[in-house]
Amino acid sequence: MSGNGTGIGASVKRKEDTRFLTGRGRYTDDINLPGQLYGYILRSGMAHAKIGTVHTDAAKAAPGVHAVFTGRDMEGVGGIPTGWEITNKDGSKMVEPGHPALATDKVRYVGDCVAIVVAETAEQAKSAANLIDVEREELPAVASIEAAEADGAPLVFDEAPGNVCYDWEVGDKAATDAAFDAADHVVSIYVVNNRLIPNAIEPRAAIANYDPATGDYTLYTTSQNPHLVRLLLGAFVLGLPEHKLRIVAPDVGGGFGSKIPHYAEEAILTWTAGQLGRPVKWTCERLDAFKSDTHGRDHISTAKLALDADGHFLGLHVSTKANLGAYLSTFATCVPTYLYGILFAGPYTTPAVYCEVKSFFTNTVPVDALRGAGRPEATYLLERLVDKAAVELGMDRVEIRRKNFIREFPYQTPVALQYDQGDYDATLDLALEASDWAGFEGRRAEAAARGKCRGIGISTFIEACGIAPSAVVGSLGARAGLYESGSVRVHPTGSVSVFTGTHSHGQGHETTFAQIVSDMLGVDFDAVDVVHGDSAKIPFGMGTYGSRSLAVGGTAIYLAVEKVIEKGKKIAAHLLEASAEDIEFENGSFTVAGTDRSKTLGEVALTAYVPHNYPEGLEPGLEETAFYDPLNFTFPAGTHIAEVEVDPETGEVELVAVTGADDVGRIINPMIVDGQLHGGLAHGIGQALLEECRYQEDGQLETGSYMNYTMPRAADLPSFNINHNTTLCTHNPLGAKGVGEVGSIGVPPAVINAVIDALRPLGVDDMSMPATSQRVWQAIQRANG
Amino acid sequence: MNDFTYHAPTSLDDAVAALRGAEGGTLIAGGQSLLPIMKLNLAAPTDVVSLAGVAGLDGITDDGDSVTVGAMCTHAQVAGSATVQGRIPALAAMADGIGDAQVRNAGTIGGSLAHNDPAADYPAACVALGATIVTDRREIGADDYFQGMFMTALEDDEIITAVRFPVPSRAAYAKFANPASKYAVAGVMVADGPAGVRVAVTGASGDGVFRMAEMESALGDSFGAEAVAGMGVSSHGLLSDTAADADYRAHLVTVMAKRAVEACG
């Protein structure tokens, strides 16, 4: 790793930005196929209703309309599957109801797909949809966890009594109970993790085509993992073999988890294209995105922490209720379990941890992964609880954390994970220094003189990224492997194409992966292009989520490059009349050790494709593929510190400073890494201060547009103070951990802890997310009695 | 959005004629409210009559005792006008806080007043400053002009041509914005002008802009923040939504009134 101007560790400007910033990106909606028609999805306006006949004659007769299909037409087509089967405490399996792509007997949330209208233009399709008459009998709805678990609550699915999907646990309950029996102090907390709407800037879209000449289907779709869509859509829904179904996820404008799942619309479009023999295009409108993109979070938890007299953590007990929405989205079931419960050791040596999670069906949009997916929920609970413990025990908030840090690695937690490496003191010290934690009381006094309540809050956290290995996740219920593929094709004249099964929708893979390959092969950065997002081009892939792309996908590429170098050594040895064992490869040249005799990569590549003078028995060509299945998760960690000023008169919270000290493993491109941190912080700050998805009791989405769903804007955010302390992951050759979700995991509790710190002098000791001005003002009023 | 006939008249007479000739016509004067509701099919006019090309609806003039703003002046033009900034700085500042830059570059004072959104900023400015709404056929005092949510004194085919603002001795606007939409949750304009002290509130009531007589009286006796700081506002009849319930809104009206008075200097 030479670390040259474009190599590993260099802040190379992103290859992809030229096309994005000049309007030359090619997103799904930019793609138009000859003869295409436009689909409009009619969605349910009721949260829960029985469906009778759907009268489509008037719509079918409307101008430009080619077809209208309903759930009855799609009967016989498979339902939308879920990707992870959870086992209950008692050993039975979770309840897994069917999810028809187009509703048949019932609709279960506002936004549920009822029919597709296909017309010459999008406007015609939408207008005609107004003419569809759906016979409906409205049923009482459950729009929250509280409503779902109430005695006698209406059932979302008859086969799920009490609306429970599963009742899961992890950890040793007896050992945890014993820890509480032995404790000097027990600190309890109740927290709500607010439901969020992802709001990727590019709405979902799809265009499906069927070629009757070959029987091939092609689906262009806004997906974070096209191969998974191919697997689920082909094998489970439509019954199409992989070689007849091509999925292309071209440029995608943000996903944040909401583009991981395989959606009903993808199945409806592909099936419809097959029925009509014409391409059909659908682009989701923003208001429909609010009620049909998967939502995130939505937990209610109680937890208690057992401590000894000195403030050492002895045990942690967590009881969580999670809202899964109306159907099981692709990763819905594993987010509140295997991406949540196993995080509760955090960076601490708590010897006994137990977590139980009961998940509920409700008449709301299905919930799936959202940036962080389970880990923000766990970190928020734990870091709020640790802060509360410090207050109740009269301890310093920093010292109680430091007192309980893990310092010996590898560290086996009581909840399955084994941390390979970390240095939590180092990031804590760095953050304290960078934020001038020691000087805070002076700033508090200065703010008080201006009539403002200033507070500071901290969060020390770990996360688990690059979920793996496949055999382990399989034993826990995953229905897919979690490895990655990478292919490296050195062309005859020395330029390189890299094929990755990960997918870039803002992460900058085209740059980061090119840096790795150009650095390792010693070829010019501009001579390396990264190809992703097309199942016809990529061997296989598991896509991008869970901060896995560099640690898992990057490693697969790394291993493929090593194979290329190994083969190149054999070719070079032949040309140089030496033994392959004596060939060294550095800076793009194969050299006989201890001599000046060498061949460039370009010469070797040309020889591989024009093998006139070539090793006997060696295959021509210079292209290698590696599949990499990690040995373990990776464990980024860090400390986030937030500083706020509250206007006690209005309750407004101004976030005045955010400091991060992060250990994300090997950094390939510092600029991209900081950009990922900034984006994640904005996301986490949005959850902490601004974003809240609210449903009315009848299941109508109350925050269904930007009129009342508050996304973070630049003006809501301070300039971030980002710092790095790196330890390397021990089990992948890059030493990479992951960065995309760090901000959304680490910062929300730091912000809320800061708000509580600011308000404590006013008698306020609790605050829910988002800490809106109204919520803060009301808390102050309550404290004032 | 349904199909409609688009008209681009160059005179007020032609605009009125186009409006009268339409089955369900509407004027467009910036389109920052009309176009979104048309996209949502909440409005489906048969005819849209643009005022963009109509002569005589632009310009800002200093008339000595008053400032006259042409109906098609954008919010950005009002905010950036040296005349407005010099004579009624509170009005320029208010216009600078409407929506976002795109809205301010397209939306107009006439369009906003004709629409009369209960959370718009201009109604508070017009009522507090005692403005006169000038139309193609008459002049209407601000107190008579606003008649409830999305309701005004305008006749169906009447067109605002200008708004005349008396120059106050002092005035200021304080707004608490909805964090999502940036519309006023509680916007209070306080003005000390030819008609005495006026306090007008927008965003807080579903009936649109209203005056706070008790505050006006207190400020008339003694113009200072302390006159209104302790003055509670009844939450009865105030709006309640995700950003602010009626109690919080009532509190914010008092705080914004106090801040506006403070800003009057």
The residue in chain B having the minimum alpha-carbon distance to the alpha carbon of residue A777 is B248
Specify if A474 maps to a domain.
Answer: no
Specify if A724 maps to a domain.
Answer: yes
- Of residues A123, A690, A694, nearest to B179 (C-beta): A690
Residues A764, A641 share a domain: yes
DSSP-derived secondary structure for A47-83: SSEEEEEEE-HHHHTSTTEEEEEETTTTTTSPPPP-S
- C-alpha dihedral, A199 to A200 to A203 to A207, nearest 10°: -140
Q: To the nearest whole percent, how much of chain A has pLDDT over 70?
A: 99
- Whether B178 and chain A come into contact, CB under 8 Å, resolves to yes
| Residue A492, φ and ψ in degrees, nearest 5 | -55, -30
- Cβ contact (<8 Å) for A707 and B180? yes
The residue in chain B having the minimum alpha-carbon distance to the alpha carbon of residue A776 is B248
Choose the weakest-confidence range: A535-549, A689-703, B128-142: A535-549
Phi-psi map region of A464: left, alpha, beta (phi>0 left; psi -120 to 50 alpha): beta
- C-alpha dihedral, A87 to A88 to A89 to A90, nearest 10°: -100
Relative to beta strand B132-135, strand B160-166 is: antiparallel
- Cβ contact (<8 Å) for B244 and A774? yes
The residue among B248, B253, B258 with the most chain A CBs within 10 A of its CB, best to mutate, is B248
Task: Collect all residues with Cβ–Cβ distance below 8 Å to A457 and sequence separation of at least 6.
Answer: A387, A641, A642, A643, A644, A749, A750, A751, A752, A753, A754, A755, A756, A757
Count Cβ neighbours within 10 Å for each residue of A459-495 and write b for 16 or more, e otherwise.
bbbbbbbbbbbbebbeebbbbbbbbbbbbbbbbeebb
Least Cα separation, residue B40 to chain A (angstroms): 10
Whether the Cβ atoms of residue A494 and residue A467 lie closer than 8 Å to each other: no
Residues A237, A110 share a domain: yes
- Cβ contact (<8 Å) for A772 and B179? yes
The answer to whether residue A574 scores a pLDDT higher than 70 is: yes
Query: Could you read off the pLDDT of A744-773 as tens digits, one per residue?
Result: 999 999 999 999 999 999 999 999 999 999
- Cβ contact (<8 Å) for A710 and B251? no
- Of residues A650, A707, A708, nearest to B255 (C-beta): A650
The interaxial angle of helices A375-393 and A742-759, nearest 10 deg, is 30
A26-45 average pLDDT score: 98
Residues A586, A653 share a domain: no
- Whether A396 and chain B come into contact, CB under 8 Å, resolves to no
The answer to whether residue A3 scores a pLDDT higher than 80 is: no
Residues A657, A587 share a domain: no
pTM for the model stands at 0.97
One-letter amino acid at A251 equals D
* Average pLDDT score, chain A: 97
CB neighbourhood size of A616 (10 A) = 5
Query: What per-residue confidence (pLDDT) applies to A156?
Result: 98
Q: What CATH code is carried by the domain that includes residue A284? A: 3.90.1170.50
- Of residues A694, A777, A778, nearest to B242 (C-beta): A694
Query: What per-residue confidence (pLDDT) applies to A472?
Result: 87
B43-57 average pLDDT score: 97
What's the domain count of chain A?
3
A694 to chain B: which residues are within 8 Å by CB?
Answer: 242
Count Cβ neighbours within 10 Å for each residue of A421-431 and write b for 16 or more, e otherwise.
bbbbbbbbbbb
Query: Could you read off the pLDDT of A289-300 as tens digits, one per residue?
Result: 999 999 999 999
Query: Could you read off the pLDDT of A99-126 as tens digits, one per residue?
Result: 999 999 999 999 999 999 999 999 999 9
Q: Which two tokens stand for residue A384?
A: 């709020």
Least Cα separation, residue B181 to chain A (angstroms): 4
Residues A768, A709 share a domain: yes
B46-56 average pLDDT score: 97
Least Cα separation, residue A710 to chain B (angstroms): 4
Whether the Cβ atoms of residue A437 and residue A456 lie closer than 8 Å to each other: yes
- Cβ contact (<8 Å) for A777 and B251? yes
- Cβ contact (<8 Å) for A649 and B255? yes
Domain boundary among A573, A608, A628: A628
Residues A243, A120 share a domain: yes
Using alpha carbons, list the distances in angstroms from residue A571 to A266, A528, A587. Answer: 46, 22, 17
- Cβ contact (<8 Å) for B180 and A710? yes
| Residue A405, φ and ψ in degrees, nearest 5 | -65, 145
A423-447 average pLDDT score: 98
Across the A:B interface, residue pairs with CB atoms under 8 Å apart total: 39
- Cβ contact (<8 Å) for B243 and A772? yes
DSSP lists the bridge partners of residue B69 as B60, B163
- Of residues B1, B183, B252, nearest to A650 (C-beta): B252
Residues A608, A489 share a domain: yes
| C-alpha–C-alpha distance, residues B260 and B258, integer Å | 5
Specify if A473 maps to a domain.
Answer: no
Query: Could you read off the pLDDT of A550-567 as tens digits, one per residue?
Result: 999 999 999 999 999 999
Domains of chain B by residue range: 5-50, 60-264
- Whether A723 and chain B come into contact, CB under 8 Å, resolves to no
One-letter amino acid at A134 equals V
* CATH code for the domain defined by B5-50: 3.30.43.10
- Of residues A123, A708, A778, nearest to B243 (C-beta): A708
Query: Could you read off the pLDDT of B228-257 as tens digits, one per residue?
Result: 999 999 999 999 999 999 999 999 999 999
Residues A118, A49 share a domain: yes
Domain boundary among A240, A267, A290: A290
One-letter amino acid at B2 equals N
For residue B123, give the H/E element and its range. Answer: helix B122-129
A579-583 average pLDDT score: 97
Per the omega criterion (within 30 degrees of 0), is the bond before A770 cis?
yes
| C-alpha–C-alpha distance, residues A5 and A753, integer Å | 41
The interaxial angle of helices A397-404 and A375-393, nearest 10 deg, is 120
Residues A636, A622 share a domain: no
Residues A527, A616 share a domain: yes
Least Cα separation, residue B263 to chain A (angstroms): 16
A285 to chain B: which residues are within 8 Å by CB?
Answer: none
The residue in chain A having the minimum alpha-carbon distance to the alpha carbon of residue B175 is A650
Residue that wins the pLDDT comparison between B41 and B35: B35
One-letter amino acid at B58 equals D
- Cβ contact (<8 Å) for A703 and B242? yes
- Whether B230 and chain A come into contact, CB under 8 Å, resolves to no
The answer to whether residue A4 scores a pLDDT higher than 60 is: no
- C-alpha dihedral, A153 to A159 to A161 to A163, nearest 10°: -60
Residues A617, A658 share a domain: no
Relative to beta strand B66-70, strand B160-166 is: antiparallel
- Whether B255 and chain A come into contact, CB under 8 Å, resolves to yes
DSSP lists the bridge partners of residue B133 as B140, B163
| Residue A244, φ and ψ in degrees, nearest 5 | -110, 5
* CATH code for the domain defined by B60-264: 3.30.465.10
DSSP state at residue A9: T
A707 to chain B: which residues are within 8 Å by CB?
Answer: 178, 180-181, 183
Query: What per-residue confidence (pLDDT) applies to A480?
Result: 86
- Whether B243 and chain A come into contact, CB under 8 Å, resolves to yes
Query: Could you read off the pLDDT of A266-289 as tens digits, one per residue?
Result: 999 999 999 999 999 999 999 999
Q: Which two tokens stand for residue A473?
A: 């996740």
| C-alpha–C-alpha distance, residues A340 and A666, integer Å | 25
| C-alpha–C-alpha distance, residues A663 and A344, integer Å | 19
Query: What per-residue confidence (pLDDT) applies to A1?
Result: 44
- Whether A123 and chain B come into contact, CB under 8 Å, resolves to yes
Domain that holds residue A388: 299-467+632-783
| C-alpha–C-alpha distance, residues A433 and A597, integer Å | 52
B244 to chain A: which residues are within 8 Å by CB?
Answer: 774
Q: What CATH code is carried by the domain that includes residue A653? A: 3.30.365.10
Using alpha carbons, list the distances in angstroms from residue A530 to A224, A740, B27, B199. Answer: 16, 19, 52, 63
B32 to chain A: which residues are within 8 Å by CB?
Answer: none
B1 to chain A: which residues are within 8 Å by CB?
Answer: 123
Domain boundary among A584, A604, A628: A628
Query: Could you read off the pLDDT of B168-207 as tens digits, one per residue?
Result: 999 999 999 999 999 999 999 999 999 899 999 999 999 9
Residues A592, A692 share a domain: no
Least Cα separation, residue A313 to chain B (angstroms): 39
- Of residues A702, A710, A777, nearest to B179 (C-beta): A710
- Cβ contact (<8 Å) for A707 and B245? no
Per the omega criterion (within 30 degrees of 0), is the bond before A410 cis?
yes
Relative to beta strand B66-70, strand B60-62 is: antiparallel
Specify if A144 maps to a domain.
Answer: no
Q: Where are the alpha helices (DSSP H) in A490-554?
A: 509-521
Query: What per-residue confidence (pLDDT) applies to A2?
Result: 44
